């Protein structure tokens, strides 16, 4: 049996809904791996908007996108994702959230429940029919359990018209990351 990593499961799901010309968001740019992945899927006619509160994340992502020759289809915004509704127009085909802290950087800069829930709310509001929001939660770091609980509580209250699925690898030694997939049905 081939058990896939959280990242490859999330990328498979995103690949199944996003295509050329789509309008998508990376809500947590970080080192830009997901931003680059989205830029490849939407092609030259598509649009990616990426958010991060850290200038270092925005700068390193810009370099990554320029090296790959896809920078012109991506708008990087140094702002919190709870400003998504101010910067993006719908319908969005996909919004990716990879929560927590930037690997290899200041672990005190983490996503927090208050702004994460606001951003999720705006993402669902702007999602088009058939669109997908992906969320990766990391309950293993300080604050991660509270954030995971807040996101799961929030999703329990989401109205009909959306379906939500969960994928989780079970670790023995520490809390495992959790991937959530929210699809807009109609």
> Which H or E element spans position 31?
none
80 part of the interface to ligand SAM, by CB under 6 A: yes
81 part of the interface to ligand SAM, by CB under 6 A: yes
Helix spans in the chain (H):
6-17, 33-42, 55-68, 84-87, 113-126, 144-156
64 part of the interface to ligand SAM, by CB under 6 A: no
Nearer to ligand SAM, 53 or 158 (CB): 53
52 part of the interface to ligand SAM, by CB under 6 A: yes
CA-angle at 143, arms to 94 and 9, nearest 5°? 35
In this structure, how many other beta carbons lie within 10 angstroms of the beta carbon of residue 171? 10
User: From the list 39, 57, 65, 137, which residue makes contact with ligand SAM (rule: CB under 6 A)?
Assistant: 57
In this structure, how many other beta carbons lie within 10 angstroms of the beta carbon of residue 140? 15
102 part of the interface to ligand SAM, by CB under 6 A: yes
**DSSP for residue 43:** -
Query: In angstroms, what is the minimal distance from the CB of 54 to ligand SAM?
Result: 4
CA-angle at 177, arms to 113 and 32, nearest 5°? 75
Task: Tell me which stretch binds ligand SAM (CB under 6 A): 15-23, 24-32, 62-70, 139-147.
Answer: 24-32
Binding-residue pattern over the window 113 to 152 for ligand SAM, x denoting contact by CB under 6 A: --x-------------------------------------
Burial class (CB in 10 A: 0-12, 13-18, 19+), 3: exposed
Size of interface with ligand SAM, in residues (CB under 6 A): 21
49 part of the interface to ligand SAM, by CB under 6 A: no
Closest residue to ligand SAM, based on beta-carbon distance:
30
Residues 93, 18 contacting (CB under 8 angstroms): yes
User: From the list 46, 100, 144, 177, which residue makes contact with ligand SAM (rule: CB under 6 A)?
Assistant: 100
Which residues here bind ligand SAM, judged by CB under 6 A?
28, 30-34, 51-54, 57, 80-81, 98, 100-102, 109-111, 115
């Amino acid at each position: 049996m081939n058990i896939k990593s959280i990242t490859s499961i999330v990328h498979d799901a995103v690949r199944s809904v996003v295509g050329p010309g789509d309008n998508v968001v990376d809500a947590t740019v970080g080192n830009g791996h997901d931003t680059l992945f989205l830029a490849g899927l939407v092609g030259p006619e598509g649009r990616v908007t990426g958010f991060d509160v850290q200038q270092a994340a925005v700068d390193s992502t810009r370099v990554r996108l320029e090296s790959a020759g896809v920078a012109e289809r991506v708008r990087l915004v140094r702002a919190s994702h709870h400003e998504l509704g101010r910067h993006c127009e719908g319908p969005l085909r996909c919004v990716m959230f990879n929560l927590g802290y930037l690997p290899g950087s200041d672990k005190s800069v983490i996503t927090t429940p208050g702004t994460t829930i606001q951003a999720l709310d705006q993402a669902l509001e702007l999602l088009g029919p058939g669109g997908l929001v992906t969320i990766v939660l990391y309950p293993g770091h300080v604050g991660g359990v509270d954030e995971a609980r807040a996101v799961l509580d929030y999703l329990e209250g989401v109205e009909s018209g959306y379906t939500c699925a969960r994928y989780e690898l079970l670790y023995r030694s520490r809390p495992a990351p959790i991937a959530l997939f929210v699809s807009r049905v109609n």
